[in-house]
Amino acid sequence: MSSKRLSSAEELEELRKEILAKRDPAKPVITICTGTACQTYGSLKIYQAFADEIKKQGLEGSAVEARPTGCHGFCEQGPVVVIFPQEICYVQVKLEDVPEIVTRTLGRGEVIERLLYEDPVTGERIAKDPEIPFYKNQMRLVFGNNRHINPRDIDDYIALGGYAALSRALFQMTPERVLEEIKKSNLRGRGGGGFPTGIKWETTRNAPGEPKYVVVNCDEGDPGAYMDRSIMEGNPHGVLEGLIIGAHAIGSHEGFIYVRQEYPIAYENTIQAIKQAEEWGCLGENILGSGFDFEVRVHRGAGAFVSGESTALMSAIEGKVGEPKLKYIHTAVSGIKGRPSCLNNVETWANVPLIINKGADWFRSIGTDGSKGTKIFSLVGKVNNTGLVEVPMGMTLRQLIYDIGGGIPHGKKFKAVQTGGPSGGVIPEQHLDTPIDFDELTKLGSMMGSGGTVVMDEDTCMVDTARYFISFCCEESCGKCIPCREGLRMLREILTDICEGKGQEGDIKAIEDIAEVMQDASLCALGTTAANPALSTLRYFRDEYEAHIKEKCCPAKACKALTSYYIDPEKCTACRICFRNCPTEAIHGEKNIVHWIEQEKCIKCNSCFEVCPPRFSAVRRISGEPLPPPPAPGTEVIREKKR
């Protein structure tokens, strides 16, 4: 990258032409996902191996390019490698596959069958990534560029039309026009609340007091959610461009990007993006020669989930403890240092350039009446295809889980999907045809949230699920106000007791009392929503709570204290598999002799249940009923022919 400050819209366009002129669309580019998930599989080494191999085979320079990119989304199958222009997608690529890919696919144009994605349902191998069901049913407006861009190289972003929206906003639109366009688009906050973005911008714009601040909230922390991380890591310029456009519309000249401590790659890529944008004149003083100044600083969090709450985040930026403040004036009016501060989530900012480029009408054409555009979800849990998916609003949960997620693994039954993270709730089977929409999900007692989507199958206990999320919030509450601190403490104790078979009469009433007081009286949104997982599981699975309390039975057979393992003497064939897999030597038996479990030694790790061959299915989980006695010592196996 040569460095030269751009001082007009025309210069930006010329630069874009120059970059594109140097790029032959037919030239093979091999992109290697180096998002956090694929990096943990060693994708950086794979990238390096590609670069070395290309050099070794004399293909470097004009012939082939290896490019490290951000997250592609199909984390289940990482490390993911896509070869352009054919869009051949190789999954679970290993270091030793690299020379073969370079020789065969890049050199001779052959497709390596064994590295292709295999559809778990049809068994068919699929060569091109747009044809993989996981990708095919998505609409990747915000997230789609990730697979083309090296996040450390601004040229890649500019080549794809980057900063054109900024140039348009600065030179062809007034701040008022930009604001109108965002309002008209009906973009709503992607962080969870769904507040109309345009109205928030307008509030800050009209609020008295200077300077005004704009802030990116990248303190994503819901269990299992990593949408914002992947955008920030994979396409930091997209967020930055949105932020600058917002600043221009609001009349702000100073911004902050709050990146949580646990996202080192997002942090580094953001710093690098800011540096490059400043060098090119897309950020800093006199942006693109327009006379508009804007600077941005990155604030690194210190590891508190509650800092994602707006007043807490702003306290942290001020250098204080990241703790929510008592406020009845919105931060859009009085935020950082008491100044008007417009805070939006990463995904919200990343939508802004799209709306400016394609117009509010285009944006409004996607989605439902109340929720426009797309939403990125991190689809995790008991689902075949885990990863990040971007879908138009209005798609049903069933389509999301079955068409994209590929359904539930191992032929198990779907039980519920948890959306909205620890502030959200569970949605059961009967509501799976609900369209994804801010208001529809709220009606079901859950919420859109930032996009965490945890799929649960029949083996998941709903009381235990509530206990998990309540414990999470209990550890993440700041502890300032009584309802949140003491309410979560007590909910955790009660739920833990219920899961351990120590539930008491009156516990359900106590949970409801505490939960409702937390909703009514907590200081910030963490507290007012923290009891939702308990309330929503109670709403749909009250019978499970009652079974735990009254019958000491866990219907899902997941709560260890309420579940015992038993080998059915009539089905056991003494195959020795469970015996060999038991980590505590709790299983007794020998060849031809029916096996049995010594309950005192059993730690209920579930190994025997999992390894017992399905054709025997001799290991049973028993909950809420008495355990049958073990077989008499030396009972012989009943063989098929004897039956």
Partner 1 sequence: MTVTLQIDGKEVKARAGMTILEAAREAGMEIPALCYHDKLEPYGACRICSVEVERKGRVRIVVSCGYPVEEGLVVRTRSPRIDRIRKVLIELIAPTTMVDGEVSGEIKKLAKEYGADIHRFESRFRAATTRCILCGKCVRYCAEVVGEHAIGFVGRGIERRAVFFPEEARACLTCQACFNLCPTGKIPSETDFVVFDGFSIDDYLSGKS
Q: What is the C-alpha separation between 168 and 150, in angstroms, rounded? A: 24
- Check residue 337 for interaction with partner 1 (CB under 8 A): no
Residue 83 pairs in a beta bridge with 30, 88
477, 529, 536, 563: which one contacts partner 1 (CB under 8 A)?
A: 477
> What backbone torsions phi and psi does residue 468 show, to the nearest 5 degrees?
-60, -50
C-beta of residue 150 within 8 angstroms of C-beta of residue 273: no
Span from 104-112, 138-146, 319-327, 365-373 in contact with partner 1 (CB under 8 A): 319-327
User: 213-218 and 254-259 as β-strands: parallel, antiparallel, unpaired?
Assistant: parallel
C-beta of residue 573 within 8 angstroms of C-beta of residue 552: no
Asked whether the CA dihedral 555, 560, 561, 563 is positive or negative, the reply is positive
* Whole-number CA gyration radius for the chain: 27
- Check residue 328 for interaction with partner 1 (CB under 8 A): yes
Strand order in the sheet with 213-218: 295-300, 254-259, 213-218, 341-345
Q: How far is the CB of 325 from partner 1 (least distance, A)?
A: 8
Q: In the complex with partner 1, which residue's Cβ is closer, 514 or 608?
A: 514
Q: How far is the CB of 371 from partner 1 (least distance, A)?
A: 23
Q: How far is the CB of 534 from partner 1 (least distance, A)?
A: 15
Residue 344 pairs in a beta bridge with 216
> What backbone torsions phi and psi does residue 260 show, to the nearest 5 degrees?
-70, 150
**3-state DSSP of 20-40:** HHCCCCCCCEEEEECCHHHHH
Q: How far is the CB of 503 from partner 1 (least distance, A)?
A: 11
CA distances from residue 191 to 146, 181, 382, 618 in whole angstroms, order as listed: 20, 21, 24, 47
173, 427, 481, 553: which one contacts partner 1 (CB under 8 A)?
A: 481
Q: How far is the CB of 304 from partner 1 (least distance, A)?
A: 7
- Check residue 121 for interaction with partner 1 (CB under 8 A): no
CA distances from residue 187 to 47, 192, 323, 348, 372 in whole angstroms, order as listed: 37, 13, 28, 8, 6
Would you say how long the chain is, in residues?
643
- Check residue 497 for interaction with partner 1 (CB under 8 A): yes
- Check residue 21 for interaction with partner 1 (CB under 8 A): no
Q: In the complex with partner 1, which residue's Cβ is closer, 141 or 488?
A: 488
3-state SS assignment for residue 305: helix
C-beta of residue 500 within 8 angstroms of C-beta of residue 604: no
- Check residue 602 for interaction with partner 1 (CB under 8 A): no
Q: In the complex with partner 1, which residue's Cβ is closer, 304 or 455?
A: 304
- H-run or E-run covering 84: strand 81-84
User: 452-457 and 414-419 as β-strands: parallel, antiparallel, unpaired?
Assistant: antiparallel
- Check residue 489 for interaction with partner 1 (CB under 8 A): yes
Q: How far is the CB of 559 from partner 1 (least distance, A)?
A: 18
Q: What is the C-alpha separation between 498 and 299, in angstroms, rounded? A: 42
Q: How far is the CB of 497 from partner 1 (least distance, A)?
A: 7
Q: CA triplet 480, 188, 397: central angle to 5 degrees?
A: 95
475, 570, 598, 625: which one contacts partner 1 (CB under 8 A)?
A: 475
C-beta of residue 241 within 8 angstroms of C-beta of residue 165: yes
- H-run or E-run covering 351: helix 346-358
Site string for partner 1, 276-305 (x = CB under 8 A): ----------------------------x-
Q: How far is the CB of 192 from partner 1 (least distance, A)?
A: 20
Span from 241-249, 322-330, 353-361, 454-462 in contact with partner 1 (CB under 8 A): 322-330
- Check residue 180 for interaction with partner 1 (CB under 8 A): no
Span from 82-90, 355-363, 462-470, 510-518 in contact with partner 1 (CB under 8 A): 510-518
Q: In the complex with partner 1, which residue's Cβ is closer, 169 or 304?
A: 304
Q: What is the C-alpha separation between 148 and 160, in angstroms, rounded? A: 9
- Check residue 478 for interaction with partner 1 (CB under 8 A): yes
Residue 218 pairs in a beta bridge with 259
488, 559, 582, 594: which one contacts partner 1 (CB under 8 A)?
A: 488
Q: How far is the CB of 460 from partner 1 (least distance, A)?
A: 25
Span from 17-25, 31-39, 507-515, 612-620 in contact with partner 1 (CB under 8 A): 507-515
C-beta of residue 225 within 8 angstroms of C-beta of residue 186: no
Q: Is 411 left (phi over 0), alpha (psi -120 to 50) or beta?
A: left
* Residue 592: Cβ within 10 Å count: 12
32, 342, 474, 587: which one contacts partner 1 (CB under 8 A)?
A: 474
Tokens of 300: 């690194």
Q: In the complex with partner 1, which residue's Cβ is closer, 155 or 476?
A: 476
Q: In the complex with partner 1, which residue's Cβ is closer, 485 or 621?
A: 485
Q: How far is the CB of 221 from partner 1 (least distance, A)?
A: 14
Q: What is the C-alpha separation between 41 and 35, in angstroms, rounded? A: 10
Q: In the complex with partner 1, which residue's Cβ is closer, 11 or 493?
A: 493
Q: In the complex with partner 1, which residue's Cβ is closer, 297 or 320?
A: 320
Q: In the complex with partner 1, which residue's Cβ is closer, 45 or 489?
A: 489
Q: In the complex with partner 1, which residue's Cβ is closer, 385 or 529?
A: 529
52, 60, 486, 500: which one contacts partner 1 (CB under 8 A)?
A: 486
Site string for partner 1, 513-542 (x = CB under 8 A): xx-xx--xxxx-------------------
- Check residue 376 for interaction with partner 1 (CB under 8 A): no
Bond prior to 211 in cis (omega within 30° of 0): yes
Q: In the complex with partner 1, which residue's Cβ is closer, 59 or 526?
A: 526
- The footprint of partner 1 on this chain (CB under 8 A) covers a number of residues equal to 33
C-beta of residue 211 within 8 angstroms of C-beta of residue 254: yes
Tokens of 602: 């059993």
490, 593, 605, 622: which one contacts partner 1 (CB under 8 A)?
A: 490
User: 425-428 and 452-457 as β-strands: parallel, antiparallel, unpaired?
Assistant: unpaired
232, 476, 503, 631: which one contacts partner 1 (CB under 8 A)?
A: 476
190, 480, 552, 595: which one contacts partner 1 (CB under 8 A)?
A: 480
Q: How far is the CB of 499 from partner 1 (least distance, A)?
A: 14
Q: What is the C-alpha separation between 451 and 227, in angstroms, rounded? A: 7
Q: In the complex with partner 1, which residue's Cβ is closer, 328 or 626?
A: 328
C-beta of residue 35 within 8 angstroms of C-beta of residue 149: no
Q: How far is the CB of 492 from partner 1 (least distance, A)?
A: 9
Interface with partner 1 (CB under 8 A): 304, 321, 326-328, 474-483, 485-490, 493-494, 497, 510, 513-514, 516-517, 520-523
